[in-house]
């Protein structure tokens, strides 16, 4: 299980990826590769490894005489993979493409490969993406070819599912805090394969049934397989009270909705197409802003992260938008070829590249969803004011609660085992310091969030010591534990403050970048 939740951390350090994944899977990663090499790889067969990483499997296959091709979204991984094939017995024996799984149709013709493999890839994809990818596999795999998928799956037995959840959940939380990424266990891999035109002839499970290696061939009656999949949703189709609550207490964590196409009003072939990420709060607010405007809303897969963070962290790119366009069959529904992107996705999306790859005209819309209708009414023109990000008091107070509610709850629960007085005093210190820092951010001296917090903690220390000495008539250091708590809580609140309400790189993000982790 560790491999799934720590995989993204390892991906930020490609040179250590193979060794790290093998250690974390207890050797299962290498066992899967060795079994594939021993049983399926023969001279002159054509092999495609989807999500090839550093190319370890392809290097082994190439040494046996196979003609190998790799595809991966990570530039760092592919740099190492290509180096493997630059010299020695592997020189010029491998072909690599940097692309997402839903861009397979760009590179490969029908019946191109004898063997297709994908390890720890499908658990990163949503249902419609997996379906699209599997349909592509049926197209590019030869009639006698074999597909091998190795990935995280949902255990079949209830007890194992419970154990799997209890072990996985805290690890997933830790991983997200470090890498801002999570994965999802596949509910029923065999069923999805069957629905896409494959028949499973061998399956092995390990790690409490949560890791499956599935071997499949194209179904003999492929033409009779139902290839349909829902291609759009209505705003009311996936309303979730739980996700809405999570929007306001768990803003630290991803809150994804199913990516794909949403129909707003009576959208038709000439209606505008807006793009956003699959963060629940963003989707709900954009849908609300577009109410009364007949339009299409295309939700790109961004790991359940908001647009700005996703684009800065490499999750909202041309690849993710193209992926959503393909899996939703957007081109079959819209004649008016114009995409309207959120202004805040500009750090991660190259407009010219997207236009060249899709043939669509691309415009950046306003910063705020509330201005979308006005933007359309003015022929996709926006004012200079609509290009500016603002941090009003209402927003800063919202972020104070959303970003810190779970932190406070955790502290309160721990403190309750010590003394309820600690809970009360800790609550006053925590929210009091938070209110001063968030509400007063533009006015407090210093540009650093930590500097502002440090100044506030000094005042807190003075306040506690003066209260102890002159009200309680005790030595000033008597309540040293409260001095310590006040300093720690205040500095914690300032750690990511500059990024949350200042729109700049915070101390937290700087630390993550130094550790080699995207944010």
Please state the pTM of the whole predicted model. 0.75
Q: Using 50, 70 and 90 to split pLDDT, how confident is the model at 2?
A: very low
The values of phi and psi at residue 437, to 5°, are -70, -45
pLDDT digits (tens, 9 = 90+) for 381-430: 999 999 999 999 999 999 999 999 998 998 899 889 888 888 998 899 99
Say whether pLDDT at 9 is over 80.
no
304-342: b or e for each residue (b if 16 or more CB lie within 10 Å)? bbbbbbbbbbbbbbbbbbbbbbbbbbbeebbeeeebbbb
Say whether pLDDT at 4 is over 80.
no
Domain that holds residue 354: 232-387
- Based on the domain organization, do 188 and 46 belong to the same domain? yes
Say whether pLDDT at 297 is over 80.
yes
- Based on the domain organization, do 372 and 405 belong to the same domain? no
- Based on the domain organization, do 371 and 403 belong to the same domain? no
pLDDT digits (tens, 9 = 90+) for 434-445: 999 999 999 999
- Based on the domain organization, do 186 and 170 belong to the same domain? yes
Q: Which of 224, 256, 284 is the last residue of a domain?
A: 224
Cα 230 from Cα 234, distance rounded (Å): 11
- Based on the domain organization, do 46 and 163 belong to the same domain? yes
Query: 480-495 vs 393-416: helix axis angle to the nearest 10?
Result: 140
Mean pLDDT of 85-102: 85
SS3 content of the chain, % helix, strand, coil (to 5): 50, 15, 30
User: Within 13 Å of residue 186, how many CA atoms lie on the same side as its CB?
Assistant: 28
- Based on the domain organization, do 242 and 358 belong to the same domain? yes
Q: Using 50, 70 and 90 to split pLDDT, how confident is the model at 57?
A: very high
Say whether pLDDT at 3 is over 50.
no
Cα 469 from Cα 315, distance rounded (Å): 53
User: Within 13 Å of residue 235, how many CA atoms lie on the same side as its CB?
Assistant: 20
pLDDT digits (tens, 9 = 90+) for 134-185: 999 999 999 999 999 988 888 888 887 787 677 767 666 665 555 545 567 8
Query: What percentage of the chain carries pLDDT values higher than 90?
Result: 44
The reported pLDDT for the residue numbered 17 is 59
Residue 519 included in any domain: no
- Based on the domain organization, do 406 and 381 belong to the same domain? no
Helix (H, G, I), strand (E, B) or coil at 452: helix
Cα 152 from Cα 158, distance rounded (Å): 16
Q: Which of 366, 387, 408 is the last residue of a domain?
A: 387
Say whether pLDDT at 262 is over 80.
yes
Say whether pLDDT at 518 is over 60.
no
Say whether pLDDT at 278 is over 90.
yes
- Based on the domain organization, do 174 and 291 belong to the same domain? no
Q: What is the CATH number of the domain that holds 364?
A: 3.40.50.11600
């Amino acid at each position: 299980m560790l491999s799934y939740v720590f995989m993204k951390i390892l991906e930020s350090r490609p040179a250590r990826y193979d060794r790290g994944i093998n250690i974390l899977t207890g050797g299962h990663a290498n066992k899967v590769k060795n079994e594939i090499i021993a049983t399926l790889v023969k001279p002159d067969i054509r092999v495609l490894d989807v999500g090839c990483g550093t190319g370890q499997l392809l290097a082994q296959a190439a040494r046996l005489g196979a003609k190998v091709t790799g595809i991966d979204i990570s530039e760092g991984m592919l740099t190492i993979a290509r180096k493997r094939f630059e010299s020695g017995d592997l020189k010029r024996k491998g072909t690599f493409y940097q692309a997402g799984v839903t861009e397979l149709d760009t590179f490969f013709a029908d019946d191109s490969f004898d063997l297709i493999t994908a390890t720890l890839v499908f658990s990163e994809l949503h249902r419609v993406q997996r379906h699209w990818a599997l349909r592509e596999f049926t197209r590019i795999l030869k009639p006698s070819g074999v597909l091998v998928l190795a990935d995280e799956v949902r255990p079949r037995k209830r007890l194992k599912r419970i154990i799997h959840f209890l072990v996985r959940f805290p690890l997933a939380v830790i991983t997200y805090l470090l890498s801002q990424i999570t994965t999802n266990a596949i509910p029923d891999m065999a069923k999805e394969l069957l629905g896409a035109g494959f028949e499973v002839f061998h399956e092995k499970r390990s790690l409490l049934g949560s890791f499956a290696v599935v071997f499949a061939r194209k179904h003999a009656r492929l033409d009779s397989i139902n290839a349909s999949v829902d291609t759009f949703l209505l705003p009311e189709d996936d309303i979730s009270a739980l996700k809405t609550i999570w929007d306001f207490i768990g803003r630290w964590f991803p809150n994804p909705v199913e990516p794909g196409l949403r129909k707003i009003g009576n959208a038709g072939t000439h209606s505008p197409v807006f793009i956003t990420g699959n963060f629940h709060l963003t989707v709900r607010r954009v849908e609300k802003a577009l109410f009364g405007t007949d339009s299409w809303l295309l939700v790109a897969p961004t790991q359940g992260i908001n647009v700005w963070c996703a684009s800065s962290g490499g999750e909202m790119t041309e690849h993710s938008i193209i992926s959503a366009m393909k899996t939703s069959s957007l081109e079959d529904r819209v004649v008016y070829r114009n995409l309207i992107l959120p202004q805040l996705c500009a750090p991660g999306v190259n407009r010219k590249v997207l236009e060249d790859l899709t043939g669509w005209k691309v415009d950046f819309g306003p910063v705020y969803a509330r201005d979308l209708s006005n933007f359309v009414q003015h022929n996709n023109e926006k004012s200079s004011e609509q290009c500016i990000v603002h941090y009003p008091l209402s927003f800063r107070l919202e972020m104070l609660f959303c970003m810190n509610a779970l932190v406070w709850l955790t502290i309160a629960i721990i403190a309750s085992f010590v003394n309820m007085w600690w809970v009360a005093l800790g609550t006053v210190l925590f929210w009091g310091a938070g209110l001063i820092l968030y509400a007063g951010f533009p006015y407090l001296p210093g540009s650093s969030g930590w500097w502002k917090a440090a100044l506030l903690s000094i005042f807190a220390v003075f306040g506690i010591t003066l209260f102890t000495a002159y009200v309680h008539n005790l030595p000033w250091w008597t309540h040293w534990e409260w001095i310590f708590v006040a300093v720690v809580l205040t500095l914690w609140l300032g750690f990511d403050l500059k990024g949350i309400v200042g729109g700049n790189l915070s101390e937290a993000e700087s630390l993550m970048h130094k550790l080699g982790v995207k944010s």
